């Protein structure tokens, strides 16, 4: 029994070794100068090693013009970047990064338009008949985007074998477009045009417009194309509203993260903190710094940055409160001027340490891309995660304020500072902790913002005015008011912006807030308590 198992293992190893050797031997023929011979090699590789990932990589890089081999060793390499006469590359067969070398030892595997066309065709065929669903789906979408009459036979062949419903739908749409444009039968063409009314992709719309604009087409065909196009545009308009609502919700989530800390500090301490935006900036730079010192943990950098940004921004907030703000309670104008000066100091400090240039924070792969619901609607993962994250932070703050001793003391100080002090609550400690928590939440908001925009010294300035508007609109110190205010202003902004422009949209929202506080000076949800009456 043991001998049989050893034989099977040995045979498998021998098979894999021989496969590798044959692949390595076959690609050696690409070193020839004959483009005709290269065409034959490409066809052979695509047919023999269609399920080998190295074949896909080789043909892709060959088409892009990045496939080379070294004169010294004959090893095939993929060119990654050039710096003058120095080339950086990695091995095609092993994927190992190679040392930077002089360009003189690199020989390019040359191609021409005809060979690139053959490579592109073979890549599409390889991926379209792959055993992996994700490869077939990507290939079918690529064929749909680059549709031509010659694709008809390949699509028909793939449709006959395909079992995956998502892939089949993409291929069916591509096939329907080709029938609508090129079918010799008027009945088939008319039927295909009618069926295109059920698809929402840009390719369908382009095909229908081409049919409408072609004067040689029969009137009934043009009429059917107009009807299908109208149907597609109507459905897409509905999804456009959903997409705007999603972007408005994501903006509202960012505003919520930015304003919730401000609402807490303003509600408890009556301090107008103009340096709140710089706490967001510190959180964003904390994320950037972590990625620089831990490049191997890029996938987890955002998760690590959340508690780190909270702690760093919170500590900075406590220092500001202990050194400056504690001496200015009861004097809102002085706190406004003092915190404005602190914001300028923090901005200059960041410019000195990191430079005035914007820095890019990399997005982890699990936050990249989009969730494609259909051809007309896709939701980006980074904004989706930010919405979920904002909800979790909001729930966490509610639990802290309503279920903990610290939260009870914060609410007591908010409602009646003198009475809370008379009951033995150390209001100075509560003030410091509240300011630290508010600043820490702003730091978390900076982590979220780092995934939507570049990180720079002026990052917080873009959101400080919006944060104050959210707090005033929702009601000073009221968390539920902050939530509703943030979402409302985010949605209004995203629906007005396409019509009025970004700048005018901000102006209109500001006018709306001004008119609103004329009627309700204390916001949607006024704060309760003796302190609030004052």
On the question of pLDDT at 533 being above 70, the answer is: no
Q: Report d(CA 152, CA 182) in Å as an integer.
A: 10
- Separation between Cα atoms, residue 117 and residue 70, nearest integer Å: 26
- CA dist 62 and 217 (Å) reads 41
Give me the residues paired with residue 370 across strands: 380
3-state secondary structure 463-518: HHHHHHHHHHHHCCCCHHHHHHHHHHHHHHHHHHHHHHCHHHHHHHHHHHHHHHHH
Of 258, 312, 269, 275, nearest to 435 (Cα)? 269
Contact status, residue 508 vs residue 294, Cβ threshold 8 Å: no
Give pLDDT, residue 285.
92
**Are 513 and 521 in contact, with CB atoms under 8 Å apart?**
no
Give the CA count within 13 Å in the CB-facing half-sphere of 135.
Answer: 16
Of 174-178, 339-343, 475-479, minimum mean pLDDT range? 475-479
CA pair distance 219, 223, nearest whole angstrom: 6
Report which of residues 237 and 25 the model is more confident about. Answer: 237
User: Which pLDDT does position 13 carry in this prediction?
Assistant: 45
pTM given for the model = 0.73
Asked if residue 396 has pLDDT above 70, the reply is yes
> In this predicted structure, what is the pLDDT of residue 17?
44
Q: Is the pLDDT of residue 11 over 60?
A: no
**pLDDT of 173 over the 80 cut:** yes
Q: Looking at residue 478, what is its pLDDT?
A: 76
End-to-end Cα separation, the chain, in angstroms? 89
The CA R_g of the chain, rounded to the nearest whole Å, is 31
Residue 534 parent element (H or E) = none
pLDDT bracket for residue 64 (50, 70, 90): confident
Nearest partner of 534 among 469, 464, 471, 477, judged by Cα: 477
Q: Distance between CA atoms of 282 and 456, rounded to whole angstroms? A: 10
Where do we find the tokens 């990695």? 90
Which pLDDT does position 18 carry in this prediction? 43
Q: Which domains, ranges and CATH numbers included, belong to the chain? A: 132-217 (no CATH), 239-365+382-529 (1.10.3470)
Q: What is the pLDDT of residue 528?
A: 58
How far apart CA 466 and CA 252 sit, in angstroms, is: 10
**Where is pLDDT greater, at 410 or 457?**
457
Nearest to 144 by CA among 134, 133, 155, 132: 155
Contact between residue 87 and residue 103 where contact means Cβ atoms under 8 Å apart: yes
**How does pLDDT run across 36-63, given as a tens digit for each residue?**
777 787 777 777 776 777 777 778 788 8
**Residue 311 pLDDT greater than 90, yes or no:** yes
CA distance 23 to 29: 11
Measured CA to CA, the distance from residue 364 to residue 351 in angstroms comes to: 26
The size of the chain, in residues, is 534
Q: 345: pLDDT confidence band, cut at 50, 70 and 90?
A: very high
Q: CA of 457: how far to CAs of 280, 287, 350, 354, in Å? A: 10, 14, 6, 9
pLDDT digits (tens, 9 = 90+) for 188-227: 888 888 888 888 888 888 888 888 888 777 888 888 888 8
Q: What is the mean pLDDT of residues 324-339?
A: 83
Q: Bigger pLDDT: 316 or 373?
A: 316
Residues contacting residue 70 through CB under 8 Å, at least 6 positions apart: 77, 101, 105, 106, 107
Highest-pLDDT range among 94-103, 228-237, 295-304? 228-237
Mean pLDDT within 313-323: 90
Q: What is the structure's pLDDT at 315?
A: 93
Q: What is the pLDDT of residues 136-157, one digit of tens each?
A: 887 888 878 777 777 777 788 8
pLDDT in tens, 116-125: 778 777 777 7
- pLDDT over 50 at 15, yes or no: no
Encoding tokens for residue 283? 């959180």
Q: What percent of the chain has pLDDT over 90?
A: 6
Crossing angle of helices 113-128 and 152-161, rounded to 10°? 20
Mean pLDDT of 164-168: 84
Per-residue confidence (pLDDT) for residue 4, from 0 to 100: 54
Check residue 258 and give its pLDDT. Answer: 85
For residue 142 the two structure tokens come to 């690529």
247: Cβ–Cβ under 8 A, 6 or more apart, which residues? 383, 494
What's the burial of 189, exposed, middle or buried (CB within 10 Å: 0-12/13-18/19+)? Answer: buried
74-99 confidence digits (pLDDT tens): 888 888 878 778 888 888 777 788 88
Helix (H, G, I), strand (E, B) or coil at 271: coil
Residue 36 CA, chain-centre distance (Å), reads 43
d(C-alpha 505, C-alpha 498), whole Å: 9
User: In this predicted model, what pLDDT tens digit does every residue of 468-527 receive, in sequence order?
Assistant: 888 888 877 678 888 888 898 888 888 888 877 777 888 888 888 888 888 887 777 766
- The rounded mean pLDDT for the chain is 81
Apex CA 163: angle with CA 159 and CA 169, to 5°?
A: 60
């Amino acid at each position: 029994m043991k001998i049989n198992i050893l034989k099977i293992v040995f045979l498998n190893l021998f098979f894999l070794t021989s496969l590798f050797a044959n692949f390595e031997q076959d690609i050696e023929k690409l070193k020839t100068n004959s483009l005709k011979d290269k065409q034959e090699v490409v066809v052979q590789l695509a047919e023999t090693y269609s399920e080998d990932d190295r074949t896909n990589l080789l043909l892709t890089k060959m088409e892009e013009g990045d496939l080379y081999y070294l004169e010294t060793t004959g090893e095939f390499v993929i060119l990654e970047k050039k710096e003058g006469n120095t080339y950086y590359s990695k091995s095609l067969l092993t994927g190992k990064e190679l040392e930077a070398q002089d360009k003189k030892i690199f020989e390019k595997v040359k191609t021409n338009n005809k060979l690139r066309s053959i490579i592109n065709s073979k890549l599409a065929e390889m991926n379209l008949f792959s055993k992996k669903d994700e490869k077939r789906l990507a290939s079918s979408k690529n064929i749909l985007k680059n549709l031509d009459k010659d694709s008809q036979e390949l699509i028909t062949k793939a449709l006959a074998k395909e079992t995956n419903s998502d892939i089949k739908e993409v291929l069916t749409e591509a096939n329907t477009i080709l029938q609508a444009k090129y079918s010799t039968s008027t009945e088939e063409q008319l039927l295909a045009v009618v069926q295109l009314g059920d698809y929402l992709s840009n390719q369908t719309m382009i095909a229908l417009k081409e049919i409408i604009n072609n004067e040689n087409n029969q009137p009934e065909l043009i009429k059917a194309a107009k009807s299908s196009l109208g149907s597609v545009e109507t459905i897409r308009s509905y999804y456009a509203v959903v997409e705007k609502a999603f972007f408005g919700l994501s903006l509202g989530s960012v505003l919520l993260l930015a304003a919730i800390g401000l609402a807490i500090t303003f509600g408890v301490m009556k301090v107008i903190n103009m340096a709140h935006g710089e706490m967001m900036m510190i959180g964003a730079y904390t994320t950037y710094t972590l990625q620089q010192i831990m490049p191997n943990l890029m996938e987890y950098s955002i998760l690590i940055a959340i508690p780190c940004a909270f702690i760093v921004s919170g500590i900075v907030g406590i220092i500001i409160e202990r050194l400056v703000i504690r001496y200015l309670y009861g004097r809102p104008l002085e706190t406004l001027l003092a915190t404005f000066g602190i914001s300028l100091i923090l901005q200059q400090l960041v410019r000195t340490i990191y430079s005035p240039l914007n820095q890019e924070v990399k997005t982890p792969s699990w936050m990249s891309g989009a969730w494609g619901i259909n051809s007309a609607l896709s939701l980006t993962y980074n904004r989706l995660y930010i919405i979920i994250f904002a909800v979790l932070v909001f729930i966490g703050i509610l639990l802290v304020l309503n279920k903990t001793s610290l939260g009870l003391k914060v609410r007591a100080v908010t409602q009646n500072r003198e009475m809370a002090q008379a009951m033995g609550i150390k209001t100075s400690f509560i003030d410091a902790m509240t300011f630290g928590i508010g600043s820490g939440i702003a730091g978390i908001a900076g982590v979220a913002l780092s995934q939507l925009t570049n990180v720079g010294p002026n990052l917080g300035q873009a959101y400080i005015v919006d944060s104050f508007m959210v707090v005033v609109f929702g009601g000073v110190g009221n968390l539920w008011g902050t939530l509703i205010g943030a979402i409302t202003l985010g949605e209004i902004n995203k629906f007005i912006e396409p019509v009025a422009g970004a700048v005018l949209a901000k102006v209109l929202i500001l006018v709306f807030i001004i008119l609103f506080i004329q009627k309700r000076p204390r916001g949607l949800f006024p704060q309760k308590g003796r302190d609030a009456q004052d």
